[in-house]
Chains A and B, each alone.
Chain A
Amino acid sequence: MGNLVKTFPIKHRDFIHAGKPSIEIKNLLKALNTPSEIIRRVAVCGYEGEMNVVMHARNGQIHLELSNTMIIVEITDTGPGIPDIDQAMQKGFSTALDEFREMGFGAGMGLPNMKKNADRFEISSTPGKGTTVRMEFATGGR
């Protein structure tokens, strides 16, 4: 039994297609009959991650790996990076532009929300190079 691996590109400022990769991931999990509660958490994390790339980074990708016991979602980008990760992880901290806030995004809940919903959450960032967020979800076997 092999793992299923898929990668979806994310484009900076592409609000029209943002969310499509997360929807596709969601549909794969539904086809596998993954419990709804896990699908919901993966979808929320995927979407928050996508929006971070769309708003803050340049380009990026969302990488999905499915095994019988684990869902791994890794979002990498070639953006400006995060100088102070501890600060970025605080609820309500946001560097989003006003125009994005007007659109209803950038409330500073993205990263804390991802951490809350994932079973395991890792973030690493190099200023000037980019950011990687890796999230794991246990499915308890299929």
Chain B
Amino acid sequence: MENSKDLPCYVGFDNEHCTGCGGCVKACPTKAIRIKEGKSLLLVDNCIGCGLCINVCPQGCITPTTIPAQAFKETQFPIIFVAPVLYSQFRDATPGEVLKGLKAMGFKHTVDMSYFFTLFKRATEQHLKNISKTLEGRPVISTMCPVVLRLIACRFPSLIDLLHPVLRPVSVMVKDVAAFIASHHKIDLKDISIFYLNPCPTKMNPKGSSLPHGSPYSTRAIGINQIYGELNKHIKTIQDSPPDRSLDPVFEFEEPPTGKSLLWGISGGETAESTIKNKLCISGMNETLEYLEKIELGLFKEYDFIEFKTCREGCVGGSLCAVDKYVAKNNLQQHVNRAEARERHRDHLLKDLYAEERFFDKLTSSKMEKLFGQRKEPLSIDDLTRINQILKQLPGFNCAACGAPDCPTFAEDVIRGRACISECPPLKTSEDHTKGEKS
């Protein structure tokens, strides 16, 4: 398979234990996986890091490319960026206790990402106000879920123009936070290591930083399920001990979220506390694909905003979560009900940031390609005609016995030189059968 080594792989395959069942091949929304010679899994084209293959593999052969959970302990000044879905993983611990637990584990500072997501939400409202005078540019598609961004870059390039032209909050803020913390402690930026605590493999970019400008500090990702057990122990200890002031939040962005800021991890959470009324919140990979297709046909123009989460129910459905998604969803709602909502942001700061236009950044096709990988090599009209001819010969069972997810993809593989038509088992059986009848 050409190029497969150069592509960013969000997942790793364990060929030794793979039985070649093909579950991952069928599950992949970008048709990136093939099985060759009964077992070896191969990655072709664009992996978008959705993690669906991880979930379906019965052998557990597919793993996200994370770093060992303990690696942060060897760094000088580890800071952890917490995806708000983390709080959903605990029923009896408050968000504040969860953040303290991370500090007790050894992280110097915790950064609650929903603090920045709220800024993103304000920027979204501002953008919708700006475009409300025209009818073009609708529906605005949210850029919060990185898998959706890659999916659009790889399968729906005509929708790039509809992407919300606001920088993803983490890309804006991680830099500021690192600099702020470095100057507060009078340490060098190089000594800071940033870790993302993630519900999905998508931020596990093996090429390093996902920031377009490069960064002076290192950024790495840890899956929630990698540290869940240890964190749980620390939280229990905190709950059973007298208050330890050293674990308290120091900065505004370390404070735990309250109210609807807690809901970012579930579908609909992005707009739960916003003034955006005319919106659709879609979750699940199949649903995301279906609606992206429909938007490309010109539908839903009357809607202002569309939130996509490729994991069912939102980030709580991520493959690196430790707790069942529906349980997690209930936990979050309990947290919201339990604590009184509090505003963490100072309004004048936000207004200054708007004035500087610092959130706005139009994603162009070329920028998308640079950030999210190349699209497939184009085919010619002759290629398409030949694919049609091959399809007519194939049985059309879409059985995936050849190692490709379906007959049309197999036919395309043949034309691209990745497969040979004799690799179709049903075709071979029927040919053998015909030969047998003749002799």
A contacts, CB < 8 Å to B = 1-4, 6, 19, 22-23, 26, 28, 30-33, 36-37, 39-40, 43-44, 46-48, 66-68, 113, 142
Q: Is the CB–CB distance between A28 and B158 below 8 Å?
A: no
Q: Is the CB–CB distance between B379 and A31 below 8 Å?
A: yes
- Residues from chain A with a CB closer than 8 A to the CB of B375 are 33
Q: Is the CB–CB distance between A32 and B380 below 8 Å?
A: yes
Q: Is the CB–CB distance between A47 and B297 below 8 Å?
A: yes
- Residues from chain B with a CB closer than 8 A to the CB of A43 are 158, 296-298
| 26 A-B pairs whose Cβ atoms sit less than 8 Å apart in the complex | A1-B382, A2-B381, A4-B385, A4-B388, A6-B388, A19-B294, A23-B293, A28-B384, A30-B155, A31-B383, A32-B384, A33-B375, A33-B379, A36-B157, A36-B160, A37-B158, A40-B296, A43-B158, A43-B297, A43-B298, A44-B297, A46-B297, A47-B299, A48-B298, A66-B384, A113-B298
Q: Is the CB–CB distance between A40 and B381 below 8 Å?
A: no
Q: Is the CB–CB distance between A4 and B378 below 8 Å?
A: no
Expressed in whole angstroms, the Cα–Cα distance for A68 and B378 within the complex equals: 14
Expressed in whole angstroms, the Cα–Cα distance for A19 and B160 within the complex equals: 21
* CB-based A-B contact count at 8 angstroms: 66
Q: Which of B296, B297, B381, B382 has the most CB of A within 10 A?
A: B297
Of the candidates B158, B365, B378, B388, the one whose C-beta lies within 8 Å of that of A39 is B158
Q: Which 7 pairs of residues, A with B, have the shortest CB-CB distance?
A: A33-B378, A36-B158, A44-B298, A47-B297, A40-B158, A31-B379, A36-B157
Q: Which residue of chain B lies nearest to A26 when distances are taken between CB atoms in the complex? A: B296
Expressed in whole angstroms, the Cα–Cα distance for A6 and B391 within the complex equals: 14
- Residues from chain A with a CB closer than 8 A to the CB of B376 are 31
Of the candidates B155, B158, B297, the one whose C-beta lies within 8 Å of that of A22 is B297
- Residues from chain B with a CB closer than 8 A to the CB of A39 are 158, 296
Q: Distance (Å) between the CB of A47 and the closest chain B CB?
A: 4
Produce 1/0 per residue, B139-176, CB < 8 A to A. Answer: 00000000000000001011010000000000000000
Q: Distance (Å) between the CB of B261 and the closest chain A CB?
A: 33
Expressed in whole angstroms, the Cα–Cα distance for A1 and B293 within the complex equals: 30
For the complex with contacts A2-B381, A2-B385, 6 further pairs of A-B residues with Cβ separation under 8 Å are: A22-B297, A31-B378, A31-B384, A40-B296, A47-B297, A68-B381
